[in-house]
Amino acid sequence: MIPASFEYQAPKTLDEALRLLSRHGDEAKILAGGHSLLPLMKLRLASPRYVVDIGRLRGMDYIREENGKIAIGALATHAQVFASELLREKCPLLAETASEIGDMQVRNRGTLGGSLAHADPAADYPAAILALDAEIVAQSGDGGKRTIPAADFFVDLLSTQLRPGEILTEVRVPVKRANEGAAYRKFHQPASGFAIVGAAARLAIGKGGKIEDIALGMTGVGSKSYRASAVEKALRGKGVSEKLIADACVKAAHGVEPLSDIFASAAYRREMASVFARRAIALAIERAQPHAAAPPMPAAKGKRK
């Protein structure tokens, strides 16, 4: 299909982009990599009068360490996140997650900020962002800037805590601890590579081999990504055993109404949530062991047939 008529605007600075959003209000939509907005426009599920293209703004694709955290500009592409040596060394979960997104074309154009702001329930990043307890920075036209905890960011289907006129400008993630392991595992939708179910686990192994802390982010299961708090509670402070992990992961979709579509029924998604939570946690535990070598970063996936 062909999108409805719209006026294309390409600001040169962030301030200019924020002014355009303030001026046009609900009639404007932000374009970054284009992989979320353009398909909606072609199907006429979105018909903005103004399209504000921020993809050419300079200086918003950085990845750098600041104040004990890694700050990532919202326009960093999936390919940049995957290739970043800093992230591979100090936040490998995010780099691993980026390697699982779409295909080469998507990774070269899609952006971290665009994916999070779109809040697709089957997107990969939200699970990792939740598991990392990340911070999301939003800026408004009046110069205001606020930091939103990842736990509060995702509201519902395609809905976030971003306010009208705000632009997501930065994501901050923690630096990996010495006794920490993390992993992302997902069940791919065969054509698009979206997550039918995805699980991102981050945990620390303490003295006596007990799980000192754990965070488990889930995506693809319900209308929004979420922390599987029931699984976390069942494992925190406990020793590691296959049975304990399996029993805990049965709760991976606890309190969530799973989606049902042509790719997976609600019952199947619930079961796969348990399976992929278990796989992510098991691999994170393996990577957290003191004797474990640094995990090899997987090659970025090609087009899936």
Q: Residue 197 forms beta bridges with which residues? A: 187
- Inter-residue contact 240 to 209 (CB < 8 Å): yes
Band the pLDDT of 120: cuts 50, 70, 90: very high
Would you say the CATH fold of 180-288 matches that of 63-174?
no
Q: What is the mean pLDDT of residues 210-229?
A: 97
pLDDT over threshold 90, residue 35: no
Q: What is the mean pLDDT of residues 196-224?
A: 96
Q: What is the mean pLDDT of residues 132-139?
A: 98
The pLDDT score that the predictor gives to residue 304 is 43
User: Which residue did the predictor score with more confidence, 56 or 287?
Assistant: 287
Domain boundaries 7-53, corresponding CATH code: 3.30.43.10
User: Which residue did the predictor score with more confidence, 295 or 163?
Assistant: 163
pLDDT over threshold 90, residue 146: yes
Q: What is the mean pLDDT of residues 198-210?
A: 95
Rounded CA gap, 139 and 107, in Å?
25
Q: What is the mean pLDDT of residues 209-238?
A: 97
Band the pLDDT of 137: cuts 50, 70, 90: very high
The pLDDT score that the predictor gives to residue 302 is 61
Lowest-pLDDT range of 30-44, 139-153, 175-189, 239-253: 30-44
Query: Top-level CATH class of 180-288?
Result: alpha beta
User: Which residue did the predictor score with more confidence, 305 or 60?
Assistant: 60
| Residue spans per domain, the chain | 7-53, 63-174, 180-288
The pLDDT score that the predictor gives to residue 305 is 32
pLDDT tens digits for 94-113? 999 999 998 888 899 999 99
The pLDDT score that the predictor gives to residue 154 is 98
Residue 126, burial from CB neighbour count under 10 angstroms (0-12, 13-18, 19+): buried
Lowest-pLDDT range of 29-38, 60-69, 162-171: 29-38
Q: What is the mean pLDDT of residues 255-284?
A: 97
63-174 adopts what CATH topology? 3.30.465
